[in-house]
Structure 1
Amino acid sequence: MTAEQADQIPLPEHTSTLVIGGGPAGLVALKYALRHSEWNEDDEPVLVEMEDEIGGTFRYRAYEGAELVSSKQLTCFSDFRYPLTAPDHPSLPEFVSYLNAYSQHFGLVPHIRTRSQVISLSRVGGEYPHEAVIRVTSPSGDVKEHRIRAQRVVITTGLHVSPNIPSIPGLNAEPITKKIPWIHSSEYKTRDQLGGRKVLVVGCGETGMDVAHDSVHAAKKTWLAVRTGFLSFPKVLNHFRIFGTTFDGNLPIDGLITNLFETTYVHPWVAASHLRWFVSDFVWAGELPPERQGRAYVFLNKFVNRPFENMSWLHRLLFSYSDPPLPDVEDPTCHLVPFPERFEDGRAVFPPPPKHRAKETAWKDICDPDLVVLATGYRQDFDWLGKEYARPDELDVRGVAHSSDLSVGYLGFLRPGVGAIPPMAEMQAQFFFLLTQGKIQVPTSEEHYHLLHGPNARIQYGVDYSGYMSTLARDMGSAPGLLELWREYGTFVTIVYCFGAAFPSFYRLVGPYKSAKAEGVVREELWDTIRRRGLAGNIAMGVIPMMFYAVVNTIALAVDVAWTLASPLFGRPRHSVFTIKAMPKIQVTAPVMDGVLNVAPGQDVVIVPPKDVNKGVANGFSNGVIRSVSAIESDAAALPKSIPKQT
């Protein structure tokens, strides 16, 4: 069935799963809804997309020369891979073609309705508790509204829909003394828009860097405005020298993080310390203030120009980049300037430079652009979502759902530092459909994957990609153990897993979504990412980090065990720690001793035993069974001395 034929089919009145949004997250959610959830012929899953075609941001916010900054190995879904002969970083049109092929391959097209915009979602109760009002536009332009009831809803409208436009006096806010043309980066399509002009690019994310690079080639002069600095490096490891060895293999950066001891077999203390974030980054271009260092928020870009560096002589001696030839233009430099406070008479007025950038001088020059490109990101708009629903920043179950209603999932609303949203969305879909069908419990282990950010940071939803992926895998029982891998797949697959990054196919080797295709992907494609590093690369980026983190985790484990055994000698009882989760959004860790729960009175709490408790009864609790108790007295001792076993 073609997409045009599917659009001719009316929307149903009821559906088991309503997916909102036709980008990568929506498509993978629909695939898992069709294949891994219960539904009948009269309530089959359906996806609605407001635009004319699927693809989301990759289709409708693309521009000339735009490519994925994440590699094909990391970005594509676990069971539908790019061929080895394809480029490591496909263009956006190529990735949209991949999404169309994915939809055809897994039979998603008959369940997709385009030109169908959800204008409201409300909770109405009953067997199908969610009601969506959808504005459907026909190919001829006729508009009508349709109501559909759903058992569960998956929201995948994405992070990049409504442009975030800052108010800058003199540019787009009063007083305006001289009008300067400006656009948001979502309106940027070709280099012709920049040709022969003096361009100020405001913002230093992936798109800002791309526009600045295009501007250097096409414009008369280019400035790049940043607030406090940036941490950025090319998306491929090329022209890079370490300890005298040069790497020129165009290796994708996002595939160089190893699994063993960095994301798997990591002691909780080491995970909580975020040690890996503080020792893994070298600043090559741009600079962050000291209070923002070690936060693992790295932008990957095609190109990095370096008018200013701040590295020690030892750093320069051991590591270096060899710049490619500069373009043959009048001014090939992208001049760094602060974020403009205002514009006066067509010139940008800048604040004093921050201390860590005191050596820079570019902002002292006159900045008089005749085009300003605001590469300032996007904001999320949920005016259509009923007030009874949580917003993405309120989710308390792995950034996927809210514990008060597990029938609503949110996929693709977390942003990885180094990684890609599509494979994260696939893991989120796997997690959500297990969770919403009661096949796994709400996880209670600590979340160590959130990127550190200041209270006023615009982006509050950043996560460490590999940490987040491995956390979801453990929650679902999809994280492979080394002994388990070796017994089932042998030494080769085990080694590839240890040296490989958090590729989604690794999490299809075992667990509830185990796939027969996964082993072949590991043996061929994922092995290729390791082979291309060469011997020196695997030693520098695999063996050495692995040995370092192995020592750190071993020391942490030894101290942990010693402290646990020695606790009684210091008058401290040796006890189990259970996570007490009180609704709404109150999480307490309380000791369980002699059957007494030391929790605050007057709260309904859900008690979940830790995953490492042996099967059977431990301290009055059956492993894997959630129980609720209510403290109605003012004394915590009034709580029951034990909880009767439930079956």
Structure 2
Amino acid sequence: MTTSLPLRTSTLIIGGGPSGLVALKYAKEYGPAWERGEAPVLVEMEPELGGTFRWRGYENAELVSSKQLTCFSDYRYPLSAPDHPSLPNFVEYLKSYSKVFGLDEHIYLNTRVVRLDKVGPEGYPHRAVLRRTGRQDDSEDVVVTARRVIITTGLHVTPNIPDIPGLNAPPLPPNPVEWIHSSAYHSRSQLQGKKVLILGSGETGMDLGYEGVLAPAKKVWMGVRSGFLSFPKVLNNFRVFGTTYDGALPIDGLITNLFETAYVHPWVASSHLRWFVSDFVIRRVLWLLTGTMAGCNQWAGELPPERQGRAFVFLNKSGKAMQFINRPFAHMSALHRAFFHYIDPPLPRGIDDPTIDIVPFPERFDPNDGSAVLPPPPAHRSKETAWKSKCDPDLVVLATGYRQDFDWIGEGYPRPEKANLRGVCDTSDLSVAFLGFLRPGVGAIPPMAEMQAQFFFLVTQGKIAPPTSPENYHLLHSEQSRIQYGVDYSAYMSQLARDMGSAPGLLELWWKHGWFITLIYCFGAAFPTFYRLSGPYQSPRAPRIVETELWDTIKRRGVAGNLFMGVIPMAFYAFINILALWVDVVWTLAAPILGIRRPPKSSYASKLLNRAEEDVTARRKESLPRLRLKIPGKLSGIIS
């Protein structure tokens, strides 16, 4: 890492987590202004790289998204590595990424942004006041001006701490109950021998529940608001007709591309039909395999039925605590278990009471004895009766997430929730980007940040026009939801690829790379490497990665897995999309004849007809072989 800050830069990147590092790589390789000698600059307030993975991790924490989906498009984990590496291992991967691509010379650690202001429309409109920390030779702030700014400070920095009377808000008893936020949790020793109440049922809350049982804590409760949707990060441990299936398949790589992400008619996309159909099917398959539709082997803490699905919530992939939560509630019949059931791991030795009691989120804490005052559970979880017993913790752990503070950003800047160009930047100022501020329902943020960086550098340099097509990738949050930044991973990645011209057409893939890579693209998930097979960021490394690592994710599913998770869904969605296209074409052709207003220019069929007219014109100017090479590229821009 370098020491002396430059006073001027082409691109200032704020934050040294995965989003910042991948932004720096693309700024170095594809960013503008190198002829001016203004190298990009990344500043990180901590003494090491890694962001949340380095500074807000804890003992035994692992990635909940698979390595195949989490790592970047052209720098991969080896096949022999675990599917879900530990957080320290992932931090080492990020450091290695920085060294391999020569990023270290552009990185300034122990450097905090005190203030970011706009100083005018001239060539360097951004003025950042930077403060070096942990150094005795830098007592004064440094001012750096930049042509563009990329903010990658992330979703998990400032703890979100709700005010709970009797715990951390008035009225407080003389000896209030001890509490910490999950960001201050580091090891099981903090829970050992205590009665622990964990407030929050996200992936961190689930991890801490499991760690509490194994510490062992004297007692573990988990406070849940509306509910959660549990699914293990690895699909295994099912017993079907006497055979145990232990395929160890990461669930985030099971969704296929063809007709689910790629080649989807706009009517089908805007209706979210794919989400609702898959939810309907998956819930019934879960009932068949585990006896409950609330989640995968989830018997308590469920969401209201109308919100159980990928369209509404973030999938909770920390499933290790579920066997301890299920104990009072699981009730599969002997007949059902004879055909299908989920196999829990063996209970840990030396644990007196491995049960985690689900309780409602407390209203307050009693000032006399410090016990939690709990409301009745929500109506859809009325079977949960543990709340009737006394909940008197020694320690409360607030696994209540994080919030974003931007008090260091001056006037005139947008905020990530207001960035109207794919959640990356705003049409009012294309020199500012926010990377890593959208969260996938199931998937990973780092590859999304990579695609966002690609998108930003094309838009900010005027290489593509700001897209105006509607977006259909946001999860269906209610207006009351605290978190509004959820997206469907596959839909979002595919949308960015189409915007950039990186979404390959099938004919184009077959022509350039052959049938094998085309097959893998159809059956694979929305891996970022797929979008470097063609387009402005085409990489020579991509074909080899697809043929080896990404093929392995498909091969591991087996024949039955690819039939039920690939061929059958593709056939169904192909029928739906072809039907929508047929109706669209008939409507487009019939409207002028019947005197009905012509469909809007954004109509899918209108685009097809307009492109057909362009091809007729092109035939007069180009030879047939040249035309045949152009067709796949045009189709890839239309049918996706």
Q: Name the TM-score, length of structure 2 as normaliser.
A: 0.87
Residue among 357, 361, 370 paired with 2:385: 361
Partner of 1:133: 129
User: Where does structure 1 lack aligned partners over 5 or more consecutive residues?
Assistant: 580-608, 619-647
2:131 is paired with a residue whose SS is strand
1:347 is displaced (CA, Å) by 1.1
Question: What CA distance in whole angstroms lies between the structure 1 residues aligned with 2:489 and 2:334?
Answer: 32
Contact preservation (8 Å) 2:588, 2:599: no
1:325-404 map, 5 Å = 325-328=346-349, 329-344=351-366, 345-404=369-428
Deviations 1:244-279 (A, max 9, x none): 764302111111111111111111111112123223
Say which SS state the counterpart of residue 475 (structure 2) adopts: coil
| Partner residue in 2 for 1:292 | 307
- Corresponding residue SS for 2:358: strand
Contact 1:416 1:464 (C-alpha < 8 Å) held by counterparts: yes
Q: Deviation of residue 153 (structure 1)?
A: 0.5
Matched, 1:20 2:14: yes
**Quick check: which one's helix share is greater?**
2
- The Cα shift of 1:174 comes to 1.4
1:348 deviates by 1.1
Cα distance change of structure 1 residues 428 and 365 upon mapping to structure 2, 3 Å threshold: same
Aligned to 2:226: 228
Query: Identity percentage over the alignment?
Result: 64
8 Å CA contact 2:520, 2:550 repeated in 1: yes
> Does the Cα contact within 8 Å between 2:72 and 2:446 map onto a contact in 1?
yes
Q: 2:85 aligns with which of 84, 90, 106?
A: 90
Shifted more, 44-53 versus 271-280: the winner is: 271-280
Deviations 1:223-243 (A, max 9, x none): 111101100111100102468
Q: How does 1:477-488 map to 2 (within 5 A)?
A: 477-488=501-512
Q: Secondary structure at the match of 2:129?
A: strand
Residue equivalent to 1:151: 147
Distance in 1, Cα, partners of 2:193 & 2:103: 46
- Give the TM-score normalised by structure 1: 0.86
CA contact (8 A) 2:436 2:448 kept: yes
Which residue of 1 is the match for residue 535 of structure 2? 511
Letter in 1 for 2:549: E
User: How far off is 1:343 after superposition?
Assistant: 0.9
* Distance in 1 of aligned mates of 2:440 and 2:222: 23
* Higher RCO structure (Cα 8 Å, ≥6 apart): 2
Structure 2 CA distance for partners of 1:546 and 1:139, relative to 1, 3 Å: same
Residue number in structure 2 paired with 1:633 = none
**Residue type matched to 2:558 in 1?**
G
Q: Does structure 2 retain, via aligned residues, the 8 Å contact 1:233–1:300?
A: yes
Corresponding position of 1:583: none
Secondary structure of 1:426 counterpart? helix
**Map of 1:415-494 to 2, 5 A cutoff?**
415-494=439-518
Give distance in 1, aligned partners of 2:596 and 2:335.
Answer: 48
Alpha carbons of 1:99 and 1:446: their partners in 2 closer, same or farther (altered >3 Å)?
same
Counterpart CA distance in 2 for 1:391 and 1:290 is 33
- What SS is found at the alignment partner of 1:86? coil
176, 179, 183: which is aligned to 1:179? 176
CA distance in 2: counterparts of 1:578 and 1:274, whole angstroms: 18
- Pair 1:79 & 2:55 matched: no
Answer with 340-349 or 147-156: which moved more: 340-349
Q: 1:214-225 counterparts in 2 under 5 A?
A: 214-218=211-215, 219-225=217-223
CA 1:481–1:130: 2 relative to 1, 3 Å: same
Whether 1:11 aligns to 2:9 is no
Question: Deviation digits for residues 301-359 of structure 1, max 9, x if unmatched?
Answer: 15133243599999988864211112231111211111111111211111222111111
Contact kept, 8 Å, 2:524 with 2:550, in 1: the verdict is yes
1:277/1:314 CA distance change after superposition, 3 Å: farther
What is the deviation of 1:81? Answer: 0.4
Output the aligned Cα RMSD: 2.3
Relative distance call for 1:576 and 1:273 in structure 2 (3 A) is: closer
Distance 1:311 1:429 in 2: 48
Distance 2:364 2:48 in 1: 40
- Which structure has greater strand proportion? 1
Give the corresponding residue for 1:590: none
Report matched runs for 1:530-609 at 5 Å.
530-568=554-592, 570-577=594-601
Distance 1:489 1:65, change over 3 A: same
Structure 2: tracts of 5 or more residues without a match: 284-294, 616-640
> Is residue 2:200 matched to residue 1:203?
yes
* Mapped partners of 1:574, 1:442: distance in 2: 26
User: 1:637 is matched with which residue?
Assistant: none
Q: How many residues align?
A: 583
- For residue 288 of structure 1, what is the amino acid of its counterpart? L
Q: How far off is 1:612 after superposition?
A: 8.1
Matches within 5 A, 1:215-294: 215-218=212-215, 219-241=217-239, 246-278=244-276, 279-280=278-279, 281-282=282-283, 283-284=295-296, 285=298, 286-294=301-309
Q: Matched residue of 1:148: which SS?
A: strand
1:116 Cα deviation (Å)? 0.8
- Between 71-80 and 286-295, report the one with greater CA deviation: 286-295
| Contact in 2 for aligned 1:201/1:224 (Cα 8 Å) | yes
Q: Encode CA deviations 1:523-555: one digit per residue, 9 max, x unaligned.
A: 000001111111111112112222222222222
Please identify, of 422-431 and 330-339, the stretch whose mean Cα deviation from structure 2 is larger.
330-339
